[in-house]
A = this chain, B = another copy of it.
Amino acid sequence: MSEFINNNNARIESLLQLCRNLIQGALNTELIQQHQDAIDHLTPNDIVQVVHRLVEDNIPMKDLKSGINKFLNICFKTIRSQAKIEVKPNHFLGVLMAENRELEKRLAAMKPIAKSINLIKEESDLRKELRILKSKIEDLGAFEKHYSRKENIFFPYFEREFPEFKCLGVMWSIHDDIRKTQKILLDSLEAKKVDVKEINHMLGDLFFSMYAIIFREEYLLFPVAINAVSAELWEEMNHQSDELGYSYIPKPVYSAKNASNRKKAFSFEGDNLDPQQLGDTLLNFDTGLMTLDQAMILLNHLPVDITMIDENDRVRFFSKPKDRFFTRSKAIIGRSVQNCHPPESVHVVEDLLKAFRNCEKDSESFWIQMKGRFILIQYFALRDEAGAYKGCIEVSQDVTEIRELKGEKRLMD
């Protein structure tokens, strides 16, 4: 029997070496044969570990993703022979898998259309077919909620429970690829001159990435996660899910919330007082006296969305206004802000925090235009009265209407 069957470390090292070679461009029978034993005996955990190590190598994300594609292609048969997890339909992962089944139906239904556009000669027939294609791609956009629940709820929990979690960054990057490709495809389909070849090419990329995510979820990530995360945490994740919504499936029915679990999601040590315990006790804010309840209501009625991190870069708080523009879920409380961003943009976050720490900057603003809205996203360094760095806040605001105000409207005219 192979030395690799019961030697996880040796197997992981072998697979890691294989991957590093693949990333450097090597791909030949000899290389694969060298690592065949490890490939034959690999487990989902091995792959999660290997990708974690590769991310820590700081390989450019593009090369990393392409290397991993080759690697998983080589290992496809072994992986495919593993059992999927078995969970109840209303388990957090069961819900994600039910969405995958729906997505597969939609992807399958699109394939004939993708093929047919190559064959249609008549311009008006082509236009008609492209309109159908466009509506199908728009329908794929609804799968965003699946990705969003993963990124905002599942990733933070997995990170906390599983130290070698960095494969999540690669997955996040593929989610972002999918989003980008969908957007470019829709733009291309609306263009005056349609490049069918280009559209076919992008459709190929889109299909590849969306199928890849389903495969990696169900054969790799979920089997590892189901053992790493406790039953009560899966419950907690469920109770944060409704707010973000579901893709293609009706709202699942979950078991009733267990009040005693309420605070599990938060991971700060120390005494902890909630509004029930404090009741009418007034908190002295120096320029005012509010109960904790009042302070919460105030924060959640502001016309800006707030997320706060402390001086250790960990998320402390986010506000929960009625129409939050950027999704936040309780799972991020206590999370390192570095993990809250796709790997490609982490360096921007790091640079900004460094400038805040060094007092080179006190604030930084970004603005984007999305779905017809003008969104301002500002970051402010927090400093105490002595000037010590105390963290930072992200403040985002839909300023579309503010930019359109004319003249004056006074209290007294």
| Interface residue? A384 (CB, 8 A) | yes
Task: Kindly identify which residue among B368, B369, B412 contacts A345, using a CB–CB cutoff of 8 Å.
Answer: B412
Digit string of A283-315 for contact with B (CB within 8 Å is 1, else 0)? 111111110111111110111101010100001
**CB <8 Å contact, A402 and B405:** no
Task: Kindly identify which residue among B270, B271, B288, B328 contacts A318, using a CB–CB cutoff of 8 Å.
Answer: B288
Residues in chain B near residue A390, CB distance under 8 A: 294, 297
| 8 nearest CB pairs, A to B | A288-B317, A274-B284, A271-B281, A272-B282, A345-B412, A287-B320, A301-B380, A297-B382
* With A274-B284, A294-B316, A408-B368 as contacts: A289 and B268 at CB distance below 8 Å: yes
Nearest-neighbour CB distance to chain B for A303, whole angstroms, equals 6
Name 13 extra pairs, CB < 8 A, besides A288-B316, A368-B409.
Answer: A274-B283, A278-B283, A289-B317, A293-B384, A294-B308, A294-B391, A298-B382, A302-B304, A302-B380, A303-B304, A303-B395, A345-B412, A369-B408
Nearest-neighbour CB distance to chain B for A257, whole angstroms, equals 13
Copies in the complex: 2
| Interface residue? A411 (CB, 8 A) | yes
A390 nearest in chain B by CB position: B297
**CB <8 Å contact, A409 and B366:** yes
Some 7 contacts from A to B, beta carbons below 8 A apart, are: A270-B282, A271-B282, A288-B318, A290-B316, A294-B391, A299-B299, A303-B380
Q: Is the interface of A mostly helix, strand, loop or mixed?
A: mixed
**CB <8 Å contact, B301 and A296:** no
Nearest-neighbour CB distance to chain B for A387, whole angstroms, equals 12
A274 nearest in chain B by CB position: B284
A293 nearest in chain B by CB position: B384
Residues of A within 8 A of B (CB): 263, 266, 268, 270-275, 278, 280-290, 292-299, 301-304, 306, 308, 310, 315-320, 328, 330, 333, 344-345, 348-349, 365-369, 374, 376-378, 380-384, 390-391, 393, 395, 399, 402-403, 405, 408-412
**CB <8 Å contact, B270 and A333:** no
Complex Cα distance, B374 from A308, in Å, reads 28
Complex Cα distance, B134 from A19, in Å, reads 79
**CB <8 Å contact, A308 and B282:** no
Task: Kindly identify which residue among B284, B349, B365, B412 contacts A272, using a CB–CB cutoff of 8 Å.
Answer: B284
**CB <8 Å contact, A283 and B283:** yes
**CB <8 Å contact, B408 and A367:** yes
* With A288-B318, A390-B294 as contacts: A345 and B411 at CB distance below 8 Å: yes
A348 nearest in chain B by CB position: B411
